[in-house]
Each structure stands twice: as structure tokens, then as C-alpha cells.
Structure 1
Amino acid sequence: RNHIAGNLYCESKDDINIHVYGAHIFHTSLKHVWDYVNQFAEFNHYVNSPVANYKGEMYNLPFNMNTFS
């Protein structure tokens, strides 16, 4: 590739970040890691809550034993 950042590469168009290789999420439960990366960038708060829509019904992912009871 002719750019840095690998799969995290973004381009800016009209002041909007475009994730060229798909969306990406940074997550860690380690405070020292969080403190370290926050020296270099400001992060938005985000909670990943994936759902599936099947025949008009919404299901939380990943599926578990209680999903279809």
C-alpha cells in the first residue's frame, strides 16, 4: 500500500473520516494501555452492541442459550 496505518487507514473527505478498509474499534480493559493511547489521540465513547434482524425480530449477538426460548 502507498500509505501508512495499514487496515486502520482513513481518508478525509469534506471533513468526514472515511474508513477505507472498514470500521474499526479500539477496546481494552487495561488502564495503563488506555492512558498510553490517549496521549496520541482523542477517543469517542462507544459501546459495541451488535444485533441481528431476522424476519422483523431483533436478536442480541452473539447468540446464546436464551436467544430462541
Structure 2
Amino acid sequence: MQLWEGYQWRKKDSEDTMAYFAACQMSVHTKKPVEPRELLKPLRQTLEGKSKKEDEEYLKGVFKESV
């Protein structure tokens, strides 16, 4: 598990760094400052409450014409 944990740490660190610099660049062009936390929120969400059955029903509804 050490390799996996190291990979996850490096990935999170890289995302944090990119969000920081992106927020700095975006804040120059907007009236309201952009926080790196706001940019990271979609990346750090967990998919709680979703079940495999709900996903299957949704995908069947979306792709029923193509099957």
C-alpha cells in the first residue's frame, strides 16, 4: 500500500499546486477573488449515495436509443 499512498499524495499535491496557480491567474481577471478550494471541490467530491443499480438505470435511459 505504500506505493499507492505515495501516488495518491503526489496526485493530490499536484492538483493543489495547479489549483493555486490557476486561482491566482483567474483572480486577476475577476472582481471576486477565486479560491483554490473552489477549484478543487469537484475533484475531491465522493460519490456517496450512488448505487450500481441507479447508475445502470440512468445509463439505460440515456443510451436506450443506441442499443
Do both proteins adopt the same fold according to a TM-score greater than 0.5, normalized to the shorter chain? no
Greater per-residue strand proportion: 1
Q: Which has the higher contact order (CA 8 A, sep 6+)?
A: 2
Greater per-residue helix proportion: 2
TM-score range, shorter chain: under 0.3
TM-score, structure 2 normalization: 0.18
